Amino acid sequence: MQQNKLNVLINFILNNSKHKKKFFDRFEIDSRKINNNQVFLSIDDDVAKNSKNIKNAIKNNASAVITFSPFSRIDKRTIIPFLVVENLNEIYYKIYLKSIEKHNHRAKTIGITGTNGKTSTVLLLANALTNLKKKVGVISSEGIGIYPKLKENNYTTPTIDIIYKSYDNFLNNQCDYIIFECSSQGLHQGRLKGIFFDYSIITNIFSDHLDYHKTFKEYINSKLSILNQSKVAILNYDSPTLKKIDLSIFKETKIHYVSDNIKGQDSYQNINSFQTKESIKKFHSSSILLIKSIMKLEGFTDISIKKSLTNLSTVKGRRNIIFTKTKGTYIIDYAHTAQSYKEIYKDFNTNGSVTTLFGCGGDRDKTKRKITAKIVDKYSSNIFITEDNSRSEKFTTIVKDILEGINRNSHYTIQKSRKKALKNLFIQSRRNDINFILGKGSENYIVKGKQKIKHNDISYILDMIKKT
């Protein structure tokens, strides 16, 4: 039955679109991106949103419309063809999948999820495989492309059309491996539907994104859903949550565990059994273990693995350290969860004068603000509270939530402008001070309302150092 529906869908698209070299370009799921002679697939679950999107697609010269619910041509003031397909959301991804399956070339697929360390693991793995002369396609929050040439990506896991178009491009370019960074929202929303992973990795699971998932259990289930589409899964046994979960229901998936602290399970050699840059070994030990496990399972020799891991590059925006002679040390990191805050303070000697500059994202889990603020207050002698990605929320509202976790006797400064906050931090910093700049990492913007304001913490600090 579904196959018949799929054939009807494909034929409708072919008959109502013209002059497109690739089948992917004959249709569009975003009404704002419709071009002439493209069929619009209206896949939103909400009927009212569907209606609005269809109107917008027609306005943008869609050649035809496919939707799951009937609509009136009179109401939409159009004569273009339309097709109603029941349960469209359940099958439309197969249109993309069918095109991918036509490729003669095959690539190994790897999906990486977890609360912390996803991006680092993706980039370090891509780096390691590239060191072994493998061509690696990457879809991550750091960018999309053939590693190391990545183009900016606005989402951790982009929409399904971008994912499959990138997948198609990687196969056209004869990539050996394709690595997907998989967010909990992306997994839950089905943006990775139809993709079966040769390997999946779960780095860890801590409480996060409860603004979206509502409960920790739902968040866990979203992360674990990657196992349903994985041949082999590699899990970090040092993650307390992962250690407790019964995974026996995933009978079709071969599960391996790795650990830096225990022997047994299916653990491979611990972090001290091979060489790499000390900073990478120290700050990304779990990632390295997970990466080594995949490389072992892929059959790479110990000698080649060692050579590859020895030549890893540091990950931009993750534990980036800038030393100065007179203005202290700067640690810049993407940390944005309570656990990542705890870990970064433990990774460094914080016995001296410690200043932390941070903020919290707007329109996101508000419960994190007080918790992260308490951690910052515990380890910092001086605090700058500033803007992160406020999005549609007022800065004052975010600050109010943050201050609930800050002792009233603590030394803190509220500075809305992140640039001004960084400048003031730099001016007051002395030779032996340690300055943590958290939340943005290597991001090149600050999201404020509907604007993306150009900004990069690393570049700004380096510019100030040059001027001293």
Pull the structure tokens for residue 278: 């000390």
Spatial CB neighbours of 429, under 8 Å, sequence gap ≥ 6: 327, 328, 355, 435
Q: Which CATH architecture has domain 320-467?
A: Alpha-Beta Complex (3.90)
Least confident of 118-132, 220-234, 341-355, 416-430: 341-355
State mean pLDDT over 302-330. Answer: 91
Within the chain, all domains assigned CATH 3.40.1190.10 are found at: 105-310
Q: What fold is seen in the domain 2-96? A: 3.40.1390
pTM above 0.85, yes or no: yes
Q: Please give, one letter per residue, the 3-state secondary structure of the chain.
A: CHHHHHHHHHHHHHHCCCCCCCHHHHEECCHHHCCCCCEEEECCCCHHHHHHHHHHHHHCCCCEEEECCCCCHHHHCCCCCEEECCCHHHHCHHHHHHHHHCCCCCCEEEEEECCCCHHHHHHHHHHHHHHCCCCEEEEECCEEEECCEEECCCCCCCCHHHHHHHHHHHHHCCCCEEEEECCHHHHHCCCCCCCCEEEEEECCCCCCCHHHHCCHHHHHHHHHHHHHHEEEEEEECCCHHHHHCCCCCCCCCEEEEECCCCCCCCCCCCHHHCCCCHHHHHHCHHHHHHHHHHHHHCCCCHHHHHHHHHCCCCCCCCCEEEECCCCCEEEEECCCCHHHHHHHHHHCCCCCCEEEEECCCCCCCCHHHHHHHHHHHHHCCEEEEECCCCECCCHHHHHHHHHCCCCCCCCEEEECCHHHHHHHHHHHCCCCCEEEEECCCCCCEEEECCEEEECCHHHHHHHHHHHC
Q: Could you tell me the strand order of the sheet in which 177-181 lies?
A: 149-151, 143-146, 136-140, 177-181, 108-113, 197-202, 230-236, 254-258
> What's CA 134's distance to the chain center, in Å?
23
Q: Which residue has the tokens 């990457």?
A: 138
The pLDDT tens digits for 92-108 are 899 999 889 889 999 99
What confidence category does residue 266 fall into, taking pLDDT thresholds of 50, 70 and 90? very low
Check: CB of residue 360 under 8 Å from CB of residue 446. Answer: no
Within the chain, all domains assigned CATH 3.40.1390.10 are found at: 2-96
Pull the structure tokens for residue 276: 């790499």
Please check the confidence at residue 439 and state whether its pLDDT lies above 90: yes
Please state which of the four CATH numbers 3.40.30.10, 3.40.50.2300, 3.40.1190.10, 3.40.718.10 is assigned to the domain occupying 105-310.
3.40.1190.10
Supply the pLDDT for residue 332. 96
Supply the pLDDT for residue 329. 94
118-131 vs 285-297: helix crossing angle, rounded to 10: 50
Least confident of 118-127, 135-144, 159-168, 346-355: 346-355
- More confident: 40 or 262: 40
Please check the confidence at residue 109 and state whether its pLDDT lies above 90: yes
State mean pLDDT over 198-218. Answer: 87
- Look at the alpha carbons of 74, 75, 78, 80 in this order and tell me if their dihedral is positive or negative: negative
The pLDDT tens digits for 425-438 are 999 999 999 999 99
The pLDDT tens digits for 56-87 are 998 999 999 999 877 666 566 678 898 988 88
Please check the confidence at residue 368 and state whether its pLDDT lies above 60: yes
Distances (CA, A) of 361 to 128, 166, 211: 32, 29, 12
Within the chain, all domains assigned CATH 3.90.190.20 are found at: 320-467
From CA 189, how far away is CA 181, in angstroms rounded?
A: 14
From CA 337, how far away is CA 452, in angstroms rounded?
A: 22
Supply the pLDDT for residue 268. 39
From CA 45, how far away is CA 48, in angstroms rounded?
A: 9
